[in-house]
Amino acid sequence: MSVEDAGNQSSQHRIDSIIDKYNLYVNPGLSKLMQFAGFGDVEESTLGTVLRTASGAEFLDFVGGYGVFTLGHRHPKVVDAVHRQLDRQPLSTRTFFNEPQAVLAEKLAQITPGNLQYSFFSNSGAEAVESALKIARIATGKTDFISMEGSYHGKTMGSLALTGREKYRTPFLPMMPGVSFVPFNDVGATAEAITEHTAAIIVEPVQGEGGIIVPDTGYLSGLRNLCTERGILLIADEIQSGLARTGAMFAVDHESVVPDIMCLAKALGGGVMPIGATISTEAIWQAAFGANPLIHTSTFGGNPLACAAGIAALQVIQEEGLCALAAIRGDQLITGLRRVQESMKGSLLAVRGKGLMIGVEFMQKDVAEITINAMARRGIIAAYTLNNPKVIRFEPPLIVSTEEVERCILAFGESVVEAAAMLEGMEDN
Ligand SMILES: Cc1ncc(COP(=O)(O)O)c(C=O)c1O
């Protein structure tokens, strides 16, 4: 056996053993799903837009952690900021003041629209939404929420109660009461659902897991006006769409809409640390925390490491002009994907998106699944959206190059052809 063969054999042995451990100790069903999608390998290292696996394969990351890797993987400025903080103080005692938390909160107040000013920090998107729910309830003294069909706000009990997909909710009934769902992109239906108990409306400015759905111009400002007129709060869940992803710092900025509460997570950690943030106005903060500043807390929320990553991430987004890059590369990608759609009329229903938050809707879920697998074999990572498996989403790091976008379009075109042919062959048999 050659040295190379022996090396391959030992790395395959390692991969098999890790997959076995997933089967035995993590989640066997998930393990099967990952292998079916063509991801039966182990992540070894990442840099920029590239992921390397234990078998030595290289992939271009066009999923981007569903919005986490906006700056790319291991951006040197974020890594350096985290290293420096790690060497000084990774977690705070929470007795004294913590500088990174103060600085990040100030920066968020500067870049978020209107009079959003105060930040509560947590560790994930779902927690950022949980915090928004509690803040909205205590600030308004009302109990109920209106959410959108097809929405995704997380899977903790509170955020799940707002998530518009029965499949995830039904096994956990009864949910938190007082949540009604209305069609996305329909201000009239939302108005009809408001009652005297409604505390807030929660909306993703671009629906992510629902299948990358961009609402009509005027929808978000319509919701804003409705909330103002009826005295209820507007919560913008920008966890996936925020921080330059759609070509603006926040997706609500496209319509100059100022929500009462904004939720952030994913990209805020610069692709290096987990962090969530719930940001609101002075008046709402006073109503929520005025009587009891400890009414809502988190042990790890606002920790120095995560906040150091957040500060560096915001700096990089501005210094590297990532909003503009998202718009330019987004145009290139959507144009290329539409070319493929034209040539494959029978398979692809729609190509849509904003900036580098793009979805392709297939006629059939099976073709989408096989396409993802075929793209993986061509060295491109893609994924479907959680609430709509007929949609493959493209959310690469915003630093992706024009050449890499072209590679993705080419691989996508070839993969759709392959998937359609494979399914036709199966139907013929
Ligand atoms: C819009 C939106 N809100 C909330 C969440 C939940 O975030 P997390 O998975 O970090 O809890 C997600 C995750 O995909 C999301 O896309």
Q: Is the CB of 124 under 6 A from ligand 1?
A: yes
Q: Which domain holds residue 398?
A: 37-71+321-428
Q: Is the same domain home to 66 and 122?
A: no
Are 246 and 362 in a shared domain?
no
298 & 345 share domain: no
Atom of ligand 1 nearest to the CA of 154: 6
Is the distance from the beta carbon of residue 130 to the nearest atom of ligand 1 less than 6 Å? no
Residue 62 inside a domain? The answer is: yes
Q: Whose CA is nearest to atom 8 of ligand 1?
A: 125
Statement to judge: residues 196 and 302 lie in one domain: yes
Q: Which of 130, 152, 163, 273 has the most ligand 1 atoms within 8 A of CB, as the residue to mutate?
A: 152
Residue 395 pLDDT exceeds 90: yes
Domain shared by 289 and 222, yes or no? yes
Q: Please state the atom number of ligand 1 nearest to the C-alpha of residue 127.
A: 11
Are both 307 and 172 inside the same structural domain? yes
Q: Does the beta carbon of 68 lie inside 6 Å of ligand 1?
A: no
CATH assignment at residue 390:
3.90.1150.10
Choosing from 304, 319, 334, the residue where a domain stops is: 319
Say yes or no: 56 and 106 in one domain. Answer: no
Q: What is the SS3 assignment for the chain?
A: CCHHHHHHHHHHHHHHHHHHHHHHHHCHHHHHHHHHCCCCCCEEEEEECEEEECCCCEEEECCHHHHCCCCCECCHHHHHHHHHHHHHCCCCCCCCCCHHHHHHHHHHHHHCCCCCCEEEEECCHHHHHHHHHHHHHHHHCCCEEEEECCCCCCCCHHHHHHCCCHHHHHHHCCCCCCEEEECCCCHHHHHHHCCCCEEEEEECCCECCCCCECCCCCHHHHHHHHHHHHCCEEEEECCCCCCCCCCCCCHHHHHCCCCCEEEECHHHHCCCCCCEEEEECHHHHHHHHCCCCCCCCCCCCCCHHHHHHHHHHHHHHHHCCHHHHHHHHHHHHHHHHHHHHHHCCCCEEEEEEECCEEEEEECCHHHHHHHHHHHHHCCEECEEECCEEEEEEECCCCCCCHHHHHHHHHHHHHHHHHHHHHHHHHHHC
Indicate if ligand 1 lies below 6 Å from the C-beta of 253.
no
Same domain, 105 and 195: yes
pLDDT tens, position by position, 79-104: 999 999 999 999 999 999 999 999 99
203 and 310: one domain?
Answer: yes
CA of 386 to the centre of ligand 1 (A): 11
pLDDT tens digits along 351-394: 999 999 999 999 998 899 999 999 999 999 999 998 899 999 99
Confidence of residue 346 (pLDDT cuts 50, 70, 90): confident
Q: Is residue 2 part of a domain?
A: no
121 and 240 share one domain: yes
Overall average pLDDT of the 316-338 stretch:
98
Confidence of residue 423 (pLDDT cuts 50, 70, 90): confident
- The tens digit of pLDDT for each residue in 10-44 reads 899 999 999 999 999 999 999 999 998 888 999 99
pLDDT at 344 over 90: no
Task: Among 266, 288, 319, give the residue marking a domain's end.
Answer: 319
Q: 311 and 340 share a domain?
A: no
